Structure 1
Amino acid sequence: MSVDEVIVSAEAPRHSNTGEDRALAWLTADAAIREERGVHRDPLIRRTTGSVGAAGINLASNDYLGLSTDARVVAGARDALERWGAGATASRLVVGTTELHIDFEQQLADFMGFPAALLFSSGYLANVGAITALVGRGDLIVSDSGAHASLIDGCRLSRARVVVVDRGDHEAIRTILRDRTEERALVVTDAVYSIDGRLAPIAEFYAATRDHGAALIVDEAHGLGVRGPGGRGLVAEAGLAGAPDLIVTTVCSKSLGSQGGVVLGSHVVRSHLIDRARSFIFDTGLAPAAVGGARAALAVLQGDPTLPRRLHANAARLADRCGAPEPESAVISLVVGDPHAAVAAAARCRQQGVLVGCFRPPSVPIGTSRLRLTVRADLDPATLDHVAEIVCAALESQGVR
């Protein structure tokens, strides 16, 4: 047998894709249904530059403080890249941890008022890892219905019994915790609900968990850099930073303009996650450049506590110009209703040089498709007014407002 014959024989058999594949034939019908319902996603909306440039004014990202393109943040990422290389090269438990990872973890923990922190490769992995390491079969999770998909998936993967309560319903949480038969219980919620930017009643949630011997996980992904003293988050604003039986997760990919997820809590919690969180143990560490960028962004935020205030002023101005209620965070949610109309309005904004988010089911309930505007601290009043004109015109073109 020749070398060529060996190579050919080792290849997987080739089959023509002529409709004979029956096992996956349902995918075509499913795609048609999604298209008809207006919930098909196009992943090809691309940026060609930073926050403001050839691609237009970006109000679809979560770069709340405008730090992703800040020269100091870019320099921090570049310095880390040159010193440590392009990738972490292994899991954190092998050789994927650098001095940069450890330093940033402690700096962020100090800033947010917790004893310790653990850095994951993404916020999604941080939430999944924290939940599945803390509860399992035979335990109880009470999940706020406004929780992010990563929290929801962590609940599902944990194999614990999961009870979902209406968004912000702390009295329902009390009832469920009081009547449970499980010894261990965990409550999970977002601090700032990502869809509309409203705030969760964190103090009431924490009181319920403390009264009934449960732990609380609060996702501050949309709170860091936005709420609290100097942008320390809604938990700090509620005076609960570092409180017992309270764990906070957050991300480096929004206000810090970089990438990565973090779990903050006690040293015991950190040690437990290192030993038990599978999304930490079996995942390659966060790339050094991302850590360096996040660390530099944190230094910028610490050095300029006016950034969150400028963000809120900009959000209030844009909401007023769009006829929306004053926002509690960086998010302005403009409900359109029909998903096709929401897509058309977002496309019209894009044609006019403004990028906005377009949220449809299953991200939001049926009948509440919307434009989601995320404001940034680095936008000037003239730009905000220009954006408002374009957004309002796009909504009016669809018979909204």
Structure 2
Amino acid sequence: MLIAHLNHQLHEREAQGLIRQRRITESPSGPHQRVSRDNQPARDLLAFCSNDYLGLANHPVLVQALADGARQFGAGSGASHLINGHSRAHAALEDELAAWLSPCIPQAGALSFCTGYMANLALLTALGDSNATIFADKLNHASLIDGALLAKAPMQRYPHGNLAVLARQLEHCTTPIKLIVTDAVFSMDGDLADLPALLALAERFDAWLIVDDAHGFGVLGAQGRGSLSHFNLRSKRLVYMGTLGKAAGLGGAFVAAHSTIIDWLVQTARPYIYTTAAPPAIAHALRESLHLIGSEEGNQRRTQLQQLIAQLRIGLTTLIEANPTLGWQLMASSTAIQPLLVGDNAAALALAAALDAQDLWVPAIRPPTVPVGTARLRITLSAAHTADDVQRLIKGLTQAAANLIGAKA
């Protein structure tokens, strides 16, 4: 019965254009990758689908640091942080991350996690008890949604970016603790939350602002210190989650907040307490990543990324304006995430396939990741891309557009 039920569900998903497929990368992370799928021979693709925004995932300094960390600390941690898995490498990384965020969060402490998903589950379940209410942007990442659903606190969702609705919700809230929860950079739209206005609401209504900066850490702000730095924010009411597998090039995540909040997470956050600590070699290498992010090389990589974003937006805006019948829309984003809204699931898949035929790898994003009717290509840029790479993508989309218009004629 179970197998029959699941097969029926899978067939329904396939009919709706919602089946996802994995590819196998045969080479290190980077814009140019050797990729195979469905037992077919591997091909060389130009990829615009990685979150390696600064191009550090295959940086020789980090590769060497990871190897050095393994030689010094071994391959694994052996246990959870509260047993014997908390190494000197973990402790040193957390000290550096706390210092990294201290300009924005007074008396900051930091706690490392294996993934950003675990960090968000930990945060919301540990802070969202029966004395709290969670207020969440409707476009928050799945990990924030799931964390809120697992928490004992009730959740109220507000329309994306609608601070007037949020203000009314906060005004009528009667619980003593109020938690405003938001992405900083929204992962499927690429836009930024109005963090200054959200913090002002937190101050006005005696609330706390939990910020998931997965796609801003390393990219935005002075020396890549993230979205809080980008907006020059400083408050004890800020609780910050940053991931370390995107711009930082390695893996893991962390929470930075007032040291009392960090102490509470150590004692109560189940995704932290009941899991094996990440290999200390990764923590060791992440310290080198922080140094790279904050260095002049990091500044140069961020400048390169901004130049590529501008180049892509100019090229795609010109393409869209020249072909209005396609109905494509370049969404409003100033970040490395540049979504091209197509609308229909099948149309998004067809466009991704047309690019794949030109050895361009851009994923089609469909429901439930995005709302029904807003399927899109999620183009992500990296500082490791070149201007020629971006121009090749623009040409590929131009060719795909011409073919679609020709097919309709």
Pairwise same-fold verdict (TM > 0.5):
yes
Aligned to 1:42: 21
Comparing 277-286 with 101-110, greater Cα deviation is found at 101-110
Of residues 297, 301, 324 in structure 2, which corresponds to 1:307? 301
Residue 117 of structure 1: how far off its partner (Å)? 0.8
CA contact (8 A) 2:223 2:295 kept: no
Secondary structure, counterpart of 2:362 in structure 1: strand
CA deviation vs aligned residue, 1:343-379 (integer Å, no higher than 9, x gap): 2222332332222122100011111111011111122
SS, match of residue 93 in structure 1: helix
Are 2:399 and 1:387 aligned?
no
Cα displacement (A) at 1:383: 1.7
Amino acid at match of 1:195: M
- 8 Å Cα contact 1:187/1:214 also seen in 2: yes
Instruction: Tell me the equivalent position of 1:240.
Output: 233
Letter in 2 for 1:335: L
Contact 1:341 1:398 in 2 (8 A): no
Paired residue type of 1:306 = Q
Greater mean alpha carbon deviation, residues 215-224 or residues 53-62: 53-62
Q: Deviations over 1:88-123 (max 9, x none)?
A: 111011111111111111212222334211000000
Cross-structure match for 2:86: 97
Tell me, yes or no, if the aligned pair for 2:122 and 2:265 is still in contact at 8 Å: yes
Between the aligned partners of 1:397 and 1:287, the Cα distance in structure 2 is: 49
SS of the equivalent of 2:255 reads strand
Q: 1:330-341 alignment to 2 at 5 Å?
A: 330-341=336-347
Percent same amino acid among aligned pairs?
32
Contact 2:89-2:281 within 8 A present in 1 as well: no
Offset at 1:396? 4.6
The partner residue of 1:349 within 325, 349, 355 is 355
Structure 2 CA distance for aligned equivalents of residues 217 and 77 of structure 1: 31
Q: Secondary structure at the match of 2:272?
A: helix
- 1:230–1:308 contact (8 Å) kept in structure 2: no
Q: Does 1:28 pair with 2:7?
A: yes
Q: Go from structure 1 to structure 2 and tell me whether the alpha carbon gap of 1:399 and 1:226 turns closer, same or farther (over 3 Å shift).
A: farther
Alpha-carbon offset, residue 331 of structure 1: 0.7
Q: Which runs of structure 2 are paired with 1:158-307 in the superposition (5 Å)?
A: 158-241=151-234, 243-304=235-296, 305-307=299-301
Corresponding letter in the other structure for 2:261: V
Structure 2 SS opposite 1:257: coil
**What is the one-letter code of the residue matched to 1:48?**
S
Give 2:135's match in structure 1, choosing from 142, 151, 157: 142
Where do 5+ consecutive residues of structure 1 fail to align?
1-21
Larger Rg: 1
| Per-residue deviation, 1:239 | 1.8
Q: Distance in 2 between matches of 1:147 and 1:48?
A: 32
- Correspondent of 1:71 among 46, 60, 66: 60
For 1:399 and 1:46, the matched residues in 2 are separated by 33
Distance in 2, Cα, partners of 1:47 & 1:371: 23
Distance 1:335 1:110, change over 3 A: same
**Deviation, structure 1 residue 283:** 0.9
Letter in 1 for 2:186: Y
Separation of aligned partners in 1, 2:279 and 2:360: 31
Please identify, of 122-131 and 107-116, the stretch whose mean Cα deviation from structure 2 is larger.
107-116
Q: Which amino acid aligns with 1:129?
A: A
Residue 112 of structure 1 pairs with residue 91 of structure 2: no
Quote the RMSD (CA, aligned, Å): 1.9
- Closer, same or farther in 2 for the Cα pair 1:246/1:258, shift >3 Å? same
Give the aligned residue type for 2:139.
G
**1:240 to 1:96, Cα distance in 2 relative to 1, 3 A:** same
Partners of 1:231 and 1:366 in 2: how far apart?
Answer: 34
Partner of 2:39: none
* 1:207 partner letter: A
Count how many residue pairs are aligned between Structure 1 and Structure 2.
379
Contact 1:257 1:293 in 2 (8 A): no
Q: In structure 1, the residue corresponding to 2:84 is in which secondary structure?
A: coil
For residue 322 of structure 1, the aligned residue among 316, 331, 351 is 316
Distance 1:119 1:399, change over 3 A: farther
Deviates more, 1:119-128 or 1:207-216: 207-216
Say if 1:333 and 1:137 are closer, same or farther in 2 by CA, change over 3 A: same
Counterpart contact for 1:344–1:398, Cα < 8 Å: no
Change (3 A) 1:313 1:138: same
Structure 1 Cα separation of the partners of residues 335 and 101 of structure 2: 18
Whether the aligned pair in 2 keeps the contact of 1:76 and 1:292 (CA below 8 Å) is: yes
2:149 to 150, 156, 161: 156
Matched AA of 2:172: D
Match of 2:117, as an amino acid? Y
Aligned residues of 2:26 and 2:33 also touching (Cα < 8 A): no
Task: Provide Cα deviations, 1:237-264, integer angstroms capped at 9, x if missing partner.
Answer: 22224x1121000100100011101101
Q: Distance in 2 between matches of 1:73 and 1:93?
A: 27
TM normalised by structure 2 equals 0.88
- How far apart are residue 326 of structure 1 and its match? 6.8
CA deviation after TM superposition for structure 1 residue 325, in Å: 6.2
C-alpha separation in 2, matches of 1:344 and 1:145: 28
